Amino acid sequence: MLAKVIDIERLIHSTKTAIACLIGVFLIHIIGIPADQWVIITIIVVMCAQIYVGSVMQKAYLRFLGTLIGCLFAAFTLAAAGHTNMAILLSIALSSFIFSYFATSQENLSYAGTLGAVTTAIIMLGPEPTIYLAAQRFMEISMGIFIATFVSQYILPINASTHLRRAQAKTLGQLRDYYMTAVMPPLDTKQQLNYMELDESIVKSLLKQRQLAKESASEPPETGFDPEHFMQSLYCEREMLRSITFMHNALTHLTKARDLLDQLPDSHAFNETIILALNTIIKAIESLEPHNEHIHIPSLDALRNALQKNLVEASSRHDLIYIDGFLFSAETLLISLAKLAGLNNVSIYETEKGHNIIEKS
């Protein structure tokens, strides 16, 4: 009941942020840091909006890098030119120029570049900027970064890799619904609208997986994230999305042959086997235990023969072109489905012969 009203993981994360701030305040009083607010500010900035361990590690690294570069820039300016109005003016102008240039390049450098400029400005525009002040600011922010990463990683950790598996299962569920809407009859106006919504949702899910994978790569090795495995899975999902879209486009261009195709028993069996295979792979991804079920990959030959037997004579040349396109897309879908099953330790059996043809661990 509570889970329906409150997001448990967000509640845990908020509690962890509060704990990290309390630890920061406790250490500040023990050590006696003059500008103690920077420790707490850093903890909040690094942790507050970053729920996963990987995202906290990413932001902590970039904040550390930006702070280090900004402090070194300010310290070098103070050592070379001292605390003069001209030195302050030149350091602010030059740091803003350099760090802004880097901040607008790669995504990873954006946050670090911005913080480099901010750190330089904070030090140089302080009441009495000195090299000692630059070092002190660096130590304060570093302490906040250390506390934030420690709490995030070792106190009730919320790993991006766990959410990545959920996101992959969700995407496959969307692909299953997409297939049912785009390929299986009937295809009315309501289904067309649902088809477009699902297409957009799947694209967003694939982008979310990329973001989660980036954060998972920053997490400890024991989380089990394998970048190569993820990229292969993502490629299969993208190929399946393309294949289903092409199958749908081919079907929408068929005229007389579409009704005949929908009535073929082999077409029904093909569609049902695809749906069952996707459901099994989804269960395998969601389960943390070894999955002993297997899937059937339907034979495209049976569907192709049925189409040639029942549709060729009744179809126009226009229809035959799109039937070939439909079969080619269906074959690509089957290949991607088989690869995805192998990546998730799901055994594959031929429907007709009933023997194992692919089995990967």
CA geometry: angle at 349 spanning 345 and 355, to 5°?
A: 125
Domain ranges of the chain: 7-154, 160-358
Q: Into which CATH architecture does domain 160-358 fall?
A: Up-down Bundle (1.20)
Task: With 0.75 as the threshold, say if the pTM is over it.
Answer: yes
φ, ψ of residue 231 in degrees (nearest 5): -65, -35
Q: Which of 87, 114, 86 is nearest to 99 (CA)?
A: 114
pLDDT digits (tens, 9 = 90+) for 134-179: 888 889 899 999 999 999 999 999 999 889 999 999 999 999 999 9
pLDDT digits (tens, 9 = 90+) for 204-262: 999 999 999 999 988 888 778 889 999 999 999 999 999 999 998 888 887 666 666 77
CA atoms of 325 and 150, how far apart (whole Å): 55
Torsion of CA 59, 61, 62, 63, to 10 degrees: 80
pLDDT at residue 239, as a whole number: 96
pLDDT at residue 356, as a whole number: 40
More confident residue, 36 or 314: 36
Q: Which of 146, 65, 132, 128 is nearest to 99 (CA)?
A: 65
